[in-house]
Structure 1
Amino acid sequence: MDIKIRKADYADLDRIMEIFEVAKKFMVSTGNPNQWINGYPQRELIDGEIAEGRCYVCLKCGGNEKIVATFCFIEGPDPTYSYIEDGEWPDDEPYYVIHRLASDESVHGITKQCIEWCAKISPCLRVDTHSDNKVMQHLLVKNGFTRCGIIYVANGTPRIAFYKKIDCNEKK
């Protein structure tokens, strides 16, 4: 099923927070109970991402457009990506980062569609995820990302860092 992606606005905030709650329950049920804890992602954080124009929502196309997923898409450089261990970034080209991708589980293929949308904006994409998030790791590799090493997020915890560079011939 196709989706439409647009920038989030303040009217979307309650629905975005609902989607994060669904995603947290999914993560726990798939063996990832430690990634989004202690209230993360906080409402204030997402409110700020909306204000900065970096939060997006995915709407199911068809009669009644409903928000089914959300993510943040942020132009680099991301300070948490400046240091990487157990590997390296393949290049220093400008990039965008996909953060906090979450779905309400009602539409199949959200990750693929989000990545394709993001690739139209930047050919170089970076993502990080928790070592327990096997589902996201699988989806990233399935969608052409390569594991590059370990980065540390703002609270000091490690994340597996991934990279994808879109070949011009790959774009449609």
Structure 2
Amino acid sequence: MEIRKTKPEELEVLLKMYEHARTFMATHGNASQWGNTYPSPQLILDDITEGNSYVCTEQDQIIATFYYKEGADPTYMRIYEGEWINDSRYGVVHRITSTGNVKGAASFCLNWALEQCGNIRIDTHRDNIVMQHLLDKNGFKYCGIVYVEDGTERIAYQKVV
């Protein structure tokens, strides 16, 4: 598997992956985290344009995608009912999903992100048991509660090398 920046012409592939992810989440008890329309095509295109959208490929096929950026994230400025492991510079991962066709793709993406800066913060919906399991399996530690832009609660994790 390899990680590289997403190309603008790959937008449609990513949109299909996110559509699949929304269906998967809904059938696994997490219908509200991304609803029926998140992330929007414009948000993904902005991620690509800003250089923060990445894809994981195997044999030249896109098998996963995610947002990665180093530096402070407004979502993580305040944490409730807990605390971050440290206040050092960190990277964030958002909107991670895979095709589901290659085992370990999401873990590969998380490990790649961790290799970039050694300190990753990430959050997920309380109902997203699949993602919580993935984070636990990959050594992320539960840190507390954060609130995303629309005011909804997320559970926050961090991993430090």
TM range (shorter): over 0.9
Indicate the RMSD between aligned Cα atoms, in angstroms: 0.8
Stretches of 4+ moved more than 3 A in 1? none
Instruction: Deviation per CA, 1:109-140: give whole Å up to 9, x if none.
Output: 01211122112211000100000000000110
Please give the secondary structure, in 2, of the residue aligned with 1:85: coil
Instruction: Deviation per CA, 1:131-161: give whole Å up to 9, x if none.
Output: 0000000110110000000000000000000
Tell me how many residue pairs correspond in the alignment.
161
Look up the match of 1:72. 67
Structure exhibiting the larger radius of gyration computed from Cα positions = 1
Relative to structure 2, which stretch is displaced further, 13-22 or 37-46? 37-46
Deviation at residue 76 of structure 1 after TM alignment: 2.1
Q: Runs of 5+ in structure 1 lacking a partner?
A: 167-172
Look up the match of 2:126. 131
Q: Runs of 5+ in structure 2 lacking a partner?
A: none
| 1:135-146 paired onto structure 2 within 5 Å | 135-146=130-141
Aligned partners of 1:129, 1:4: CA distance in 2, in Å? 24
Aligned partners of 1:75, 1:116: CA distance in 2, in Å? 15
Instruction: Deviation per CA, 1:96-115: give whole Å up to 9, x if none.
Output: 00100011111100121112
TM (norm. structure 1) is: 0.91
Aligned partners of 1:91, 1:6: CA distance in 2, in Å? 28
Look up the match of 1:21. 19
TM (norm. structure 2) is: 0.97
Deviation at residue 38 of structure 1 after TM alignment: 4.6
